[in-house]
Structures are given as C-alpha cells and as structure tokens.
Amino acid sequence: MLTVIIECLDQETELAQTLAALVSGAVEGVVCDVVVLDRGSRDGTSRLADAAGCRFHGQWDLKDIVRAARGEWLLLVEPGARPASGWIDEIADYVMRNSAPARFSPSRHHRLPFYRRIGRRTAPLEDGLLLSKRQALAIVKSGMGLGDLPKGLRMQSLTAELVPARVARQARADLGITE
C-alpha cells in the first residue's frame, strides 16, 4: 500500500528514529516498502538501512525510484521525523477515500513558539508528504531531490501529527553530539 522514501546524508541516528517509528506500520501491513536514498553518507547509514530491510540507493534518479516503488502511495519524510500515534489508521483511511496529496499536521507538542515561526521558512518535507505513485510519476523529473516534489502542490492536511526531524537534530545538539 505505502512506500516510504527517505533521503539521507550522514544521518544514521535520525534514520534509526524514523525507521523505528515505521515498524508498527509494517506490522499492520500499511508500509510495504522503505527506500533510503543516500547522498554520500560516511556513517553507518547503509548498514542501518540494510539491517532494517530497506532498499538502499547510493546513486539514484528519483524518477527511477518512484517507478520502482512497490506501494501505490508514497510517503516522503525527513530522517528523524516520526509519525505520532494514530498515523496508521489515518493514512489507511485517507488513501481509501482521497486522491489529493496530503501532509501531516505539525506536532502540537513540538511546535516552535509563535515568534520563532514568523517569517521562518520550513523545510519542504518538515510535515512529510503523502501522494499517490501516479501523481509522483506525473511531476517527477530526472535530477530532482525529494524536497522538490512538494513544490506547487495543493495539499490536504491529515489529522495525524508528525514530530519533525528538527526535534531530533535539536536533541542531538543539546547533548553536544556533533558527528
């Protein structure tokens, strides 16, 4: 039903957090495929992806990746992002009833204070992106990165929340982890 695609660069720890959050979706039969696209990592990203049963690509063309996706729907997330509880039922219900692309609702517990949100540019996949494989094939071009796919799309909002990857990055910085 759903192929999850994650693009990484030296983000082994963040990838592990995201993959751990996706296990329940695989157990429930919602996640059928996870693809890790690597931009030249020098950490253990490839070993982690292999150990978790993901398809790993060190050199890739997004058009080929979308074509080879096993699921009829794609979920694009940043490494470190974690869907909050209830995401499995929400996505299963959404894909049965809708055809428009969607994004997760921002996590209420991890929202930046109002004054820090003003004028802030969010990362293209901060709230994830859920779209059908058919829609992705219609817009993907050779040489694109995952962050280019949401540009110009009108999206619905899921009620399920996504803990953004910046929370994982901030936690690592707070602990003084720089690798």
Could you write out the DSSP letters of every residue in 62-109? HHHHHHH-SSSEEEEE-TT-EEPTTHHHHHHHHHHH--S-EEEEEPGG
Q: Provide mean pLDDT across the span 28-49.
A: 95
Average pLDDT over residues 13-24: 94
> Could you tell me the two tokens for 142?
């050779």
Is the pLDDT at 174 greater than 90, yes or no? no
pLDDT given at position 8: 94
CA–CA separation, 96 and 92 (whole Å): 6
Q: Which CATH class is domain 2-174?
A: alpha beta
Q: Is the pTM of this model over 0.85?
A: yes
Band (pLDDT 50/70/90 cuts) for residue 151 is confident
Distances (CA, A) of 155 to 37, 75, 91, 151, 175: 24, 13, 14, 10, 36
pLDDT in tens, 86-123: 999 999 999 999 999 999 987 666 555 555 555 555 56
